[in-house]
Structure 1
Amino acid sequence: MANNNRFKKVMSSTDILVVAFGAMIGWGWVVSSGRWIQNAGTIGTVIGFFIGGVMIYFVGMTYAELTPAMPNVGGEHVFSHKAFGPTGSFICTWALILSYIGVVCFEAVSLPTIIQYIFPSFSQGYMYSVVGADVYATGVATSTIFTIGIIILNIMGIKAASIFQTILTGVIAAVGVILVVASAISGSLDNLQGQVIIGDGIGSIKNILSVAVVAPFFLFGFDVIPQVAEEINIPLKKIARILLFSIICAVTFYGLVVFAVGYAMNTEDIALAMGGSGLVTASAMEKVFNSTIMAKVLILGGLCGVITSWNSFVIGGSRAIFSMAESKMIPRRFTKLHPKYKTPTNALLLIGGLSSVAPFFGRTMLIWISDAASFACCLAYLMVALSFLVLRKKYPDMKRPYKVNHYRVVGVIASVLSGLMVALYLIPGSGATLTFEEIIIVGGWTLLGVFFYTMCKKRYGDKFGKIHYGELY
């Protein structure tokens, strides 16, 4: 990995900010706000996202130091390798790839659902049902077409994908601002009665934590930045600041949107919307403008969020796969770069193929995939936080363009919080315990990882897991 010119350095400050922010702002702010408010209350949800945001920010600080210190493709793959060697690196990156692919599949399955809200007669050509979720030919075809488009765009180069990302992220931000401003003008504090914080005592804390524990799934995406470190063309220290700023932007966006919904709609309004389309955020937009057209405008913003998240995780996932293949942890064919655009072609095609298959399993897969991906993401974050602490001790003189103050405090808090999130998915009765189906997904992915680890270690011998760090660090 000593050659840092394999990828084109074309990404600007704006490019990496919108890639990270666009990854974190998907469809959840449209489809999940009502459920969060009913579970934890408006302020309870904001507090829950703040708690999740604090965890993400502490983890983000470890990323902020490590990314400019080791600016190679693969990011976490390199961090964990330098700290723990090939096995630790394999576990970290393999978990991260599951989280990326999980989000990509989540967005592929979400897309037809969103279009259905805009065009009620969209679903045609009933095929079959999966755990109560109907699968239609139009939905599968549309997801496939979008998948092909996103993969082609990414093969054509990171700059093209970044420009596309910037346009759509601008639409999301504009729609969000319109909702917040309109709610502030037309809403009322009276609407918060009965839905400030749901529950009393321990019950309220548990409800808030139920939001906090899912917040990382809706906030992860900043970690795409280290995946494309070799393609960024700005001072290394600036990368760290943009990474942390993207987290602040995402937490603020979710908090403002949730508060705007609660400020615009009372408990009866939210219950009615949940019993109807379920898109409470869109219903809030409709109420403050007294216009069904504005509800569709907000849903269109959510559609843009799906595509930006989809695009970002295709970028991140393909680079993570490339980095594992380059260090001979998975088959070498995934190291192939496009001769002109310098993009990891085979890795992109693999992710495209998986996201094309996902819509065939129906909407029930959304919950399973999101929880399995969130668990995998928290595990990867734990590995990075621990890598941060280990590298400070093992390599105190390593060049660090951005250096975190009080690193022990930051590293320990990041490790404890991300470790707690991992534990909550495994402890029965925590409110976030993985279901049987989700355990099957995680277990299957683990077995596939064991297969690749064993096969590649046998095939490549001493070359397995080798990374040449180069002269930068």
Structure 2
Amino acid sequence: MENKENRELNKVLNTGDVLVTAFGAMIGWGWVVSSGGWIQGAGIIGTMIAFLIGGIMIYFVGLAYAELTTAMPESGGAKVFSQRAFGPIGSFICTWAIVLSYIGVVCFEACSLPTIIQYIFPGFLKGYLYTVAGFDIYVTWLVAAIIFAVLITYINIKGVKAAAMLQKILTITIAAVGIILVVVSLVNGDPSNLNGQMFVGDDANSIAKTILSVAMVAPFFLFGFDVIPQAAEEINVPLKKLGRLLVFSIALAVVFYGLVVFAVGYGMNLAEVQQSVSGTGLVTADAMAKLFNSKVMAKILIIGGMCGIVTSWNSFMIGGSRALMAMADSYMIPHIFSKTHPKYKTPYLALILIGLISIISLFFGRVMLVWISDSASFACCISYCIVSMAFVKLRKTEPNMKRPYKVKNYKVMGFLAVALSGFMSIMYLVPGTKCTLTNQEMIITGGWALLGIVFAVICKMKYKEKFGKQRGKME
């Protein structure tokens, strides 16, 4: 067995690291490519209201996470909370779902990065190999993606502090580019551009429906704050402050998305937005180019978007590896994945596994990864719902548990967290909604669930009474 020193994780994450890791996880590539679609779907003000609604949904779940993280500051986050409330089986379901969520994002970001490079360098694609569901795979595309996947995995193995340093640099870059866009829009934009773009709909009822349609999608661009609880043992921040940081990071992301949408709409009129959506699809970058009258500035904004890809990728590598380590530490999956690197004190085998999965996924092209990411979002909603239920149950069963960050009116907040996350989960299964899972996504989700059952049965048979019992650090 490993000794205590071998199992310890270094407490190296400070306040800034926590904030940029959570914020960076939520700010990916969507603010560059999806803003035009949001504006067409609900209008500028409508989209801002929609993100406010979506942010409120995530806010209630975030409150549950904030309290539970400070009460149980152990690596594993959702796994630790759900096990305390519902035992090994409930914990396995919750954690297995969140692992799919994290791996799905890692795979999608690994695919997105080389795709963005080709926007900056149109001649980038060389050496056609084959086509998967209409997506052409090229040698240069594949090599670039694999190099980045190996690099991100290596940085995370080197230590969470190294990963956080990368996160800090890239998040500052994203923020700087976003601020430049907003400021130049206010200076060079025109209020007349807002005409016909404020809301979508002919009456209050239709406007409300369009806002709700975007509000349903908005929370999926705000997932990611929960990577922080996964690395709780590596955080060197007062627990009460940690809870506040989690909640603040959600608010920060909502403000960022809202300002970007306003800047785009204030800088481009309705016809220009429509032309951009049907053209490059990079509406935010086209807005930057117009406002500066420079295509170079569009590429600079795209680079900011690339930083967003890497920050999400990096954050979910941290979260996914810690979730796998926590499961392995409880003998829910092969115990070898609980091992930490003798020098860097990181769960290197779990990181290598996620890195390998992301590399393998690249060979299936972008369409496959869209299916994975949608399945991942559904899995994340399931996990959020279970964590929210754990929050409510533990308040009842363990009222005297020390809670450095304690949520007021827990019954109301807990009910809203459970109801809203449960509602989002159901929407993936109800036909006709904007987020209904396709048949392919159902197969991926079902396959992942089946794999989880196989793991659970095998590990239960192999480890017997150890299954679900976290090995203490005294071993």
Q: Same fold (TM over 0.5)?
A: yes
Match of 1:126 in 2: 128
Distance in 1 of aligned mates of 2:120 and 2:36 = 19
Task: Establish whether residue 248 from structure 1 lines up as the match of residue 255 from structure 2.
Answer: no
> Is 1:237 matched with 2:230?
no
Aligned partners of 2:89 and 2:449: how far apart in 1? 13
Measure, in 2, the Cα distance between the counterparts of 1:358 and 1:304: 21
Aligned to 2:93: 91
User: How far does residue 255 in structure 1 lie from its aligned partner after superposition?
Assistant: 0.7
Q: Which amino acid aligns with 2:230?
A: Q
Q: Following superposition of structure 1 onto structure 2, how do residues 139-150 of structure 1 map, counting pairs within 5 Å?
A: 139-150=141-152
Give the alignment partner of residue 330 of structure 2, picking from 318, 327, 332.
Answer: 327
1:69 maps to amino acid: A
Q: Is the 8 A contact 1:168 1:305 kept in 2?
A: yes
Corresponding residue number in structure 2 for 1:10: 12
**In the superposition, relative to structure 1, how do residues 371 and 276 fare at CA in structure 2: closer, same or farther (>3 Å)?**
same
2:363 is matched with: 360
- Counterpart check, 1:280 vs 2:283: yes
Residue deviations 1:309-367 (CA, integer Å, cap 9, x gap): 10110011000000001101111111111001100011000110011122222222343
* Structure 1, unpaired ranges of 5+: none
Whether the 8 Å CA contact 2:193–2:266 is kept in 1: the answer is yes
Deviation at 1:406, TM superposition (A): 0.4
Match of 1:343 in 2: 346
- Paired with 1:281 and 1:241, the residues of 2 have a C-alpha distance of 31
1:353-410 per-residue CA deviation (whole Å, 9 max, x = no partner) reads 0111222222223432221111111111101100000000000000111111000011
TM-aligned CA distance change 1:330 to 1:202, over 3 Å: farther
Q: 5 Å matches for 1:399-410?
A: 399-410=402-413
Give the SS at the match of 2:363.
Answer: helix
Q: TM-score, normalised by structure 1?
A: 0.97
Deviations 1:94-120 (CA, angstroms, capped at 9, x unpaired): 110011001101101101111011101
2:318 aligned to 300, 315, 325, which one? 315
Alpha carbons 2:361, 2:369 under 8 Å: kept: no
Counterparts of 2:460 and 2:201 in 1: how far apart (Å)?
52
Task: Give the structure 1 partner of residue 435 of structure 2.
Answer: 432
Q: CA deviation at 1:430?
A: 2.2
Residue 216 of structure 1, aligned match among 192, 213, 219 = 219
Aligned to 1:270: 273
Distance in 2 of aligned mates of 1:203 and 1:429: 17
- Superposition deviation, residue 444 in structure 1: 1.0
Residues 2, 469 of structure 1: 8 Å contact kept: no
- Does residue 385 of structure 1 match 2:388? yes
SS at match of 1:364: helix
- CA–CA separation in structure 1 for the residues paired with 2:111 and 2:208: 32
Are the counterparts in 2 of residues 125 and 136 from structure 1 also a CA contact under 8 Å?
A: yes
8 Å contact kept, 1:139–1:359: no
CA gap 1:325/1:105 in 2 versus in 1, 3 angstroms = same
Q: Supply the distance in 1 between the matched residues of 2:46 and 2:129 (Cα, whole angstroms).
A: 41
Q: 1:61 to 1:14 in 2, by over 3 A?
A: same
- Paired residues of 1:39 and 1:207 also in contact (CA < 8 A): yes
Partners in 2 of 1:263 and 1:439 — Cα distance? 40
Residue 260 to residue 3, structure 1, CA distance change in 2 (3 Å)? farther
Name the residue aligned to 2:162.
160
Paired with 2:358 and 2:473, the residues of 1 have a C-alpha distance of 35
Q: Please identify, of 356-365 and 271-280, the stretch whose mean Cα deviation from structure 2 is larger.
A: 356-365
1:261 corresponds to 2:250: no
Shift of 1:90: 0.5
Measured against aligned partners, the alpha-carbon deviations of 1:27-82 in whole angstroms (never above 9, x if no partner) come to 01001111111122112211211111101111000111000100000011000000
Moved more, 378-387 or 131-140: 131-140
Provide the identity percentage: 62
Q: Which moved more, 1:430-439 or 1:228-237?
A: 430-439
Aligned length: 471
TM-score by length of 2: 0.96
For 1:397, the equivalent position in structure 2 comes to: 400
Q: CA deviation at 1:12?
A: 0.4
Following TM superposition, by how much is the alpha carbon of 1:462 offset from its aligned partner in structure 2, in angstroms?
Answer: 1.3
Tell me, in whole angstroms, the C-alpha distance in 1 between the residues paired with 2:131 and 2:310.
Answer: 25
My pick for the range that moved more, 409-418 or 428-437, is 428-437
The 1:128/1:470 distance shift into structure 2, 3 A limit, reads closer
Judged with a 3 Å threshold, the aligned counterparts in structure 2 of structure 1 residues 367 and 470 are, in CA distance, closer, same or farther, namely: same
**Do the aligned residues in 1 keep the contact of 2:126 with 2:140 (CA within 8 Å)?**
yes
Cα deviation, residue 135, structure 1: 1.3
- SS for the counterpart of 1:277 is coil
Query: CA RMSD of the aligned region, Å?
Result: 1.7
Report deviation, 1:276: 1.6
Aligned residue in 2 for 1:411: 414
User: Mind listing any 5+ residue stretches in structure 2 that lack a counterpart?
Assistant: none
Find the partner of 1:373 among 366, 371, 376.
376
Residue 468 of structure 1: how far off its partner (Å): 5.9
Tell which deviates more after alignment, 121-130 or 248-257: 121-130
Do 1:19 and 1:308's aligned partners in 2 also have CA atoms closer than 8 Å?
yes
